[in-house]
Amino acid sequence: MATNRTFTMLKPDAVEKGHIGAILEKITASGFRIVAMKLTQMTAADAKEFYAIHKERPFFGELVEYMTRGPIVAAVLEKDNAVEDFRTLIGATNPADAAEGTIRKLYAASIGENAVHGSDSDENAAIESAFHFAGREMF
Ligand code: IDP
Ligand code: MG
């Protein structure tokens, strides 16, 4: 399994606010290469499957509503130490706790609407990339 790739989504709030360009600029300026990318919209079934690990959480319904309300940008990113470095670049889940200069500090409104997703492990990066890009020639 590749250890130098991660998966991201620019979430509906970031797309709605017109932040696609600024966030991609920050990602590429931080040394990530875009391996695959698309503008897409998740169905409720997609969001429930993608976030299945959170299905018992009280915010699950809200999360599915949020993630399906408009387009997202899904992308596979490549860099040495991609998973960990990308989590550092996006900052804490709650933007109130995110470090200065991180994507969530700059662009997220709340713990729920937090602008960007980043995989939390190499295994999940592979699963999440396949979820959005299955069958695509990106490797
Ligand atoms: P992560 O995106 O930083 O990995 P997770 O804990 O995996 O954070 O949660 C997945 C997503 O669920 C978050 O990015 C956020 O959109 C949403 N979420 C997490 N915690 C809450 C909460 O307490 N209220 C509302 N939404 C939440
Ligand atoms: Mg997570």
H, E, C per residue of 61-129: HHHHHHHHCCCEEEEEEECCCHHHHHHHHHCCCCHHHCCCCCHHHHHCCCCCCCCEEECCCHHHHHHHH
**Which tens digit of pLDDT belongs to each residue from 6-54?**
999 999 999 999 999 999 999 999 999 999 999 999 999 999 999 999 9
Alpha carbon of 83 to ligand 2 centroid (Å): 12
Regarding the beta carbon of 62 and ligand 1, being less than 6 Å apart is answered yes
- Dihedral sign (CA 81, 86, 88, 92): negative
User: What is the token pair recorded at 74?
Assistant: 């899904």
Q: Which domains does the chain have, with CATH numbers?
A: 5-132 (3.30.70.141)
Alpha carbon of 123 to ligand 1 centroid (Å): 19
**Residues that are catalytic:** 117
β 72-78/33-40 pair status? antiparallel
Model pTM score: 0.96
Regarding the beta carbon of 114 and ligand 1, being less than 6 Å apart is answered yes
pLDDT at residue 59 in the model? 98
| Ligand 1 closest atom vs CA 11 | 16
pLDDT at residue 134 in the model? 87
